[in-house]
Structure 1
């Protein structure tokens, strides 16, 4: 559980990092997504070699299939989320993607792993999702949304489903290989899939200042490579549905950091959402552990 929470904290720093990056460069969101997963690959390979993860690894058919599916889900998440932002705006895309992902995870986990949520846990999950929605809600988001909100909403649902697939597949990969090996394969696939899309937009890496490269390296090595390694390690002993609820704390970290470093103010409604989110996740954890005799 602590590893999942740590990964949520790392992912919570992505927003303020990307916002700072956009102040320094004119890179597109898709290019940033490509660079993020691409920079993670050499970091993962280096760590795997130093820790001798490849020596004990056995390449099997199930591993190849699951790693390819995880890479596809990773790439699809980037494409769907960026398309949702373009069509419906940041706030709408974030609300839909954030608040439907745990539901998708619960549904997929019930089918794949036979995980079942007791009624109290379902109610607490709903409360946590409401808290997350209130936390990130900003009045006037509809006015600043894109020109095709329904299309954007569909893309956001695709992003949520991609994230849920990534989480469930990660859970299935956990016993087959170390997190380092699994992520090396998956992010390599995602890089190959995203590269043609980024090339169509045009990549201008030569114009990126050195200060921006520091932020890009942080995104790739810390929030992506380290964040997902920790997440996959935690999934070895944490059910996928439970993990998806814990990662709802990610937007809380993002909002706090945005207030500290970017000067963004929290409205009373946002504070109410933060409180509801924290209480619901804490209570959900208690109910979940009690159901399993922990």
Structure 2
């Protein structure tokens, strides 16, 4: 088991965040049935709904201390917002060029590898054997799970699309690394309020330059409210709290619960077949999570 109760708690927080992110695809699929919308508009509205929620919770919890942020750290938080906006925008653009399957594989699988390399070279976080085994198991499981479901169809793939998907992974990796630097200095809602406010502003500019859709039926706004409050505000809030005692690499591995949740929901709600390889991939992902949960924390950190 975890050697410290806080580490186990933080692991579970990141798992809960990842599970909430796994519901985004189902909710977006419901929104697309409406027809007159697009991915960039949906992403902007998610962040636009989440940002004031972070401000409200931050004011209730912290009062005036919510705005007590050093100038240098404020820049890092704004950078986080820019990175999450870049990640979302590049992912959306990658889908048009490389297809959903390839884009998702690259965006999800490349991020933990980038984080592991950067953590090793920049922050001198040692990549232990247990971390490496968990990373390989999670990557293998994700490839099997997504690959068997998404890559069976014939999707047009371009070098530009692959590059955009990789940029999306880089943006997400940068978001996690920057958040890890600030998590012990500020309350999670302080970080998230600035980051998501900045990201929403950037996405508003991007969406306005294309085709920003703001008119939806009542049920559509209910889904948007869910997307903005649960997988975005609550999900990223839990994630920011969870990375307090987890390394950036381990946290990125745990976030791979997201494709597992999405696959299980697709199986339960839409009867999508997982197949033998998909089930094997799910087993690999669960094995990686069990390894992180059951093996002592020191085996995953530089002290181990």
TM-score by length of 2: 0.90
Aligned mates of 2:144, 2:241 — CA distance in 1: 31
Q: Structure 1 residue aligned with 2:251, among 231, 234, 243?
A: 243
* Cα pair 1:53 1:181 within 8 Å, conserved: no
Query: Are 1:172 and 2:146 counterparts?
Result: no
Aligned mates of 2:31, 2:260 — CA distance in 1: 21
Q: How does 1:10-49 map to 2 (within 5 A)?
A: 10-49=20-59
Shift of 1:290: 4.4
Aligned mates of 1:235, 1:284 — CA distance in 2: 14
Query: Are 1:276 and 2:284 counterparts?
Result: yes
Shift of 1:262: 2.6
Query: Are 1:55 and 2:62 counterparts?
Result: no
Aligned mates of 2:288, 2:212 — CA distance in 1: 43
* Cα pair 1:125 1:281 within 8 Å, conserved: no
Q: Structure 1 residue aligned with 2:220, among 192, 203, 212?
A: 212
Aligned mates of 2:290, 2:278 — CA distance in 1: 18
Unaligned runs of 5+ in 2: 1-10
Other-structure match for 1:68: 78
* Cα pair 1:16 1:261 within 8 Å, conserved: no
Aligned mates of 2:152, 2:12 — CA distance in 1: 36
Which range is displaced more, 257-266 or 281-290? 281-290
Other-structure match for 1:189: 198
Other-structure match for 1:77: 87
Report SS of the residue matched to 2:255: helix
Shift of 1:61: 2.0
TM-score by length of 1: 0.93
Report SS of the residue matched to 2:184: coil
Other-structure match for 1:101: 111
Other-structure match for 2:5: none
Q: How does 1:145-160 map to 2 (within 5 A)?
A: 145-146=155-156, 148-160=157-169
Could you list the runs of 4 or more consecutive aligned residues of structure 1 that deviate by over 6 angstroms after TM superposition?
none
Aligned mates of 1:111, 1:288 — CA distance in 2: 24
* Cα pair 1:3 1:231 within 8 Å, conserved: yes
Query: Are 1:225 and 2:237 counterparts?
Result: no
Aligned mates of 1:260, 1:133 — CA distance in 2: 21
Distance change (3 Å), C-alpha of 1:57 and 1:114: farther
RMSD: 1.9
Other-structure match for 1:119: 129
After superposition, what is the alpha-carbon deviation per residue over 1:160-191, rounded to whole angstroms, capped at 9, x for unaligned?
11111010111112123211111111111111
Distance change (3 Å), C-alpha of 1:226 and 1:70: same
Other-structure match for 2:18: 8
Other-structure match for 2:242: 234
After superposition, what is the alpha-carbon deviation per residue over 1:52-107, rounded to whole angstroms, capped at 9, x for unaligned?
35436522122112111101111101111001111000001011111111101111
Shift of 1:143: 4.8
After superposition, what is the alpha-carbon deviation per residue over 1:25-71, rounded to whole angstroms, capped at 9, x for unaligned?
42111111111111101111111122235436522122112111101
Report SS of the residue matched to 1:62: helix
Report SS of the residue matched to 1:115: coil
Distance change (3 Å), C-alpha of 1:244 and 1:49: same
